[in-house]
Amino acid sequence: MPPYRLQALLDIRTRAEDEAKEAFSAAVKAAEKEKQQLVALQKDLEKRKAERKGKVQAFLQEVTAKGGGIGGFQQMSRFEQRLKDEEAQVALEIERQKEVVVQADKLVEQRRMEMAEAAKEKKAIEKHRDNWKAEVRKERMAKEEMNQEEIGNTLHLQRVRAEKKP
């Protein structure tokens, strides 16, 4: 069988499909990592809120035990505000992380489409190759039949000539 003339293109499409699969896999892993980071930030925020309540309560008890008066309560208020500001920072990080997750999901979808397109292109070339192979086989069979027919005709003519000579 002659070599397939588009084999180089088939090899290129196969490599492109493999690369697209790898890129999709990497995008899925990256998106999962970003989602895990978002969950970790959300858990951190919840933990900070719970800790703030406990710390403020402990600080309040300490102030009231010492009899700190108004200065102690102002100090407690500043302490609570600082903790709330830290929580707000974490909340901002969560919002940024949500955007990162959305972008990662968009990238995953883009990679999925690229992978599907690469697979479709490869499949088209493979179908062409299969059709080409079938055509080559068909031509080969036709040539063999023609050769067999010629051999049969030649043998027949030899017998007919041999019968006429005596």
Half-sphere exposure of 93 (CA within 13 A, CB side): 16
Q: Tell me the two tokens of residue 21.
A: 């699969």
3-state DSSP assignment of residue 125? helix
% the chain with pLDDT above 70: 98
Mean pLDDT of the region 1-13: 91
DSSP 4: P
pLDDT in tens, 35-94: 999 999 999 999 988 888 888 888 778 777 777 667 777 877 888 889 889 999 999 999
pTM (predicted TM-score): 0.70
* Phi, psi of 68, deg, nearest 5: -70, -20
Instruction: Give, for 163, the enclosing helix (H) or strand (E).
Output: helix 69-164
Structure confidence at residue 166 (pLDDT): 62
CA distance 98 to 110: 18
Spatial CA neighbour of 23 closest among 124, 98, 110: 110
Judge contact between 136 and 1, C-beta under 8 A. yes
